[in-house]
Amino acid sequence: MYPHERSLVKQLSDKPFALIGINSDRELEQIRATVKEKNLNWRSFWNGPEGTGGPISAQWNVTGWPTIYILDEQGVIRYKNARGADMDRALTKLLGEMGHPVEIAHEAEGDQ
Amino acid sequence: MTQELTPKIELHRVGSPPRHRPVSRWSISRWQITLATLFVICCGVTAPSWSQEARTWTDASGKFSVEATIKELKRDSVVLVLADGTERTVALDQLSDADRRYAADYRKTMLAENAAKKKAAAESKQRGEDLKDELQAILESFSQREEQLKQSGTDAAQIRNARQPLVQETSQQLLKLVEAVPQSEVARDVYIWVVGNGAQGAEATTAIEALVQHFADSPEILPFIGLIARDLAMLEKLQSKAKDKAVKGVATFTLARQLSGADNPEFEERVVKLLKEVISKYADVSDSARRPIGPQAERLLFAVENLSIGKVAPDIIGSDLDGVAFKLSDYRGKVVVLDFWGDW
């Protein structure tokens, strides 16, 4: 997961695109360390000390992790749980609709 | 009164001459029991229990009486067993009014008792009780063979693989056993066994269909609604048939969840209707994990109305991992991947 997300954020840094996380780890200090250590390059809401039982995932009725929503520039939900190549295709389409043709390709990178 | 009406004379003699040797109380009752038993075996009908008491029979003139037990009531006559064990057949029109009324009562009770017996036998058959021994034998054979598998198997996956054909075979036997009594309790136990033991293919389909067809109102099927839900048509059938509150509630919620899972805008109106029904009528019903379905339905309703494809995403107002406040709507104008994640 991490390499794909890191790669997307890097590749689309000059496009109208953002990857926003909702992190459900209980220990804030610990996840901060992980972000630094694994060079996670996206911003996340923190779901609070209740972890997966936190308020954001509850409101969004999230029962499995990871759960992915893809929103267009109007904030409209356009895709759910599109991962990997499906996510790449979805982003290519949505950015294309906005007049930003992109070609997404990922370099091989060991997961960590 | 009996004692006063002497001399005791047989009303009508049939068969062997009367013996005057006194018969003890014990031997009389034994005789009566034996006769009653024979009667049941030969004729398949039992006399009413109150008729086992010896009583005094009196003729129409009131002059003659005899202590005897009724053995059989024919159309125009009655067969009596005297204290010494001999039998006498007496025409009904020779008897006193009281005796004829007794005979009429006897006939009525006997008919009613026989009808009740027949009904009980039919119900017992309906319940499949006559199949319980066979069911037990099949299940015992399964357990033995399963145990052998466990002993001989080397790892869990291998045992599981070897167990599956055994489950299928046993399911076939069980389903065949109850084929004629699909609505019986034994059949219900069979269907639950088949589904609960993970049978697949035709056996699973047969069992699930039968559960929905005949036991839509049995709370026993609650744990299997999730399995039934694999077949949307079956789940819809169960949901429409069920009258038991728990079954109806869980089936309604499960149906809403399955339909919402398809994320098809065409289903939305129906899903919303189903969820509102759950919230208003079945909120306190618990699912198989003992969680009340009302709050779950409310969350799902919010999700369907706000988190479906094509809806504007609800805003998220919170703080990032450094404690800096921000909102999802800050990113309007950009394509956003919203990723619920955790490092575990």
Q: How confident is the model at residue A99 (pLDDT cuts 50, 70, 90)?
A: very high
pLDDT of residue B331: 97
Mean pLDDT estimate for chain B = 84
Count the helices and strands in chain B (H runs, E runs). Answer: 11, 7
Q: Which residues on chain B are in Cβ contact (under 8 Å) with A18?
A: 331, 334-337
Q: How far is CA B285 from CA A24, A46, A111, B192, B245, in A?
A: 29, 33, 45, 21, 8
A16 min Cα distance to partner chain B (Å): 5
Tokens of B279: 């919230």
pLDDT at residue B160 in the model:
86
B94: amino acid identity, one letter: Q
| % of chain B at pLDDT higher than 90 | 52
Please give the residue of chain B at the shortest CA–CA distance from A70. Answer: B337
Side-chain-side CA neighbours of residue B208 (13 Å): 27
Q: Rounded to a whole number, what is the distance in Å from the CA of B209 to chain A's nearest CA?
A: 30
User: For A86-104, what is the mean pLDDT?
Assistant: 95
d(CA B139, CA B174): 9
Chain B residues whose CB is inside 8 A of the A87 CB are 337
Closest chain B CA to residue A1: B341
CB contact under 8 A, A74 and B326: no
Distance from CA of A55 to the nearest CA of B (A): 10
- Min Cα distance B336 → chain A (Å) is 5
DSSP E strand boundaries for A1-112: 17-23, 43-46, 67-71, 77-80
Contact: A61, B303; criterion CB under 8 Å: yes
Q: What tokens appear for B232 in the block?
A: 């949307």
pLDDT for the residue B49: 63
**Which residues of chain B have a pLDDT value below 70?**
1-51, 124-127
Residue A33: the pLDDT is 94
Q: What confidence category does residue A40 fall into, taking pLDDT thresholds of 50, 70 and 90?
A: very high
Question: Which of B307, B318, B320 minimises the CB distance to A56?
Answer: B318
The CB-based long-range contact list for A45-50 (8 Å cut-off, 24+ gap) reads: A45/A20, A45/A21, A45/B316, A45/B318, A45/B319, A45/B320, A45/B326, A46/B318, A46/B319, A46/B320, A46/B321, A47/A22, A47/A23, A50/A26
Q: Quote the Cα angle for B129-B135-B136, to 5°.
A: 105
- Chosen from A57, A69, A98 to mutate, greatest number of chain B CBs within 10 A: A69
Note the helical H segments in B153-286.
156-177, 185-196, 201-214, 225-228, 232-241, 245-261, 268-281
Helix or strand or coil: residue A21? strand
Q: State the pLDDT at residue B282.
A: 97
Which of B197, B199, B193, B233 is CA-nearest to residue B213? Answer: B233
Per DSSP, B222 falls in state G
pLDDT at residue number A35: 94
Q: Under 8 Å CB-to-CB from A19, ≥6 apart: which residues?
A: A5, A8, A9, A42, B336, B337, B339
Does residue B195 contact residue B207 with C-beta atoms inside 8 Å?
Answer: yes
**Mean of per-residue pLDDT scores for chain A:** 92
Size of interface A-B (CB pairs under 8 A): 144
Task: Flag if B341 and A8 touch (Cβ within 8 Å).
Answer: no
Region A32-51: mean pLDDT is 94
What is the per-residue pLDDT for B7? 39
- Alpha carbon of residue A109 to chain centroid: 18
A21, A24, A75: residue with CB nearest B312:
A75
B 2-21: CB under 8 A from A: none
For residue A111, pLDDT over 60 is answered with no
DSSP H helix total and E strand total for chain A: 4, 4
Q: Report ipTM (2 d.p.).
A: 0.95
d(CA B141, CA B174): 12
| Phi, psi angles (nearest 5°) of residue B225 | -65, -35
Contact A68 B340 (CB under 8 A): yes
The beta-carbon neighbor of A71 closest among B320, B322, B338 is: B338
CA–CA separation, B254 and B262 (whole Å): 13
pLDDT for position A92: 97
Out of A15, A16, A56, the one facing B316 most closely (by C-beta) is: A56
Residue A104 in contact with partner chain B when CB distance is under 8 A: no
Q: Which of A60, A65, A76 sits opposite B342 (nearest CB)?
A: A65
DSSP character at residue B49: G
For chain A, positions 13-72, list CB contacts with chain B under 8 A: 15-25, 28, 30-32, 34-35, 42-46, 51-52, 56-62, 65-72
Min CA distance, B310 vs chain A (Å)? 5
B335·A62 Cβ contact <8 A = no
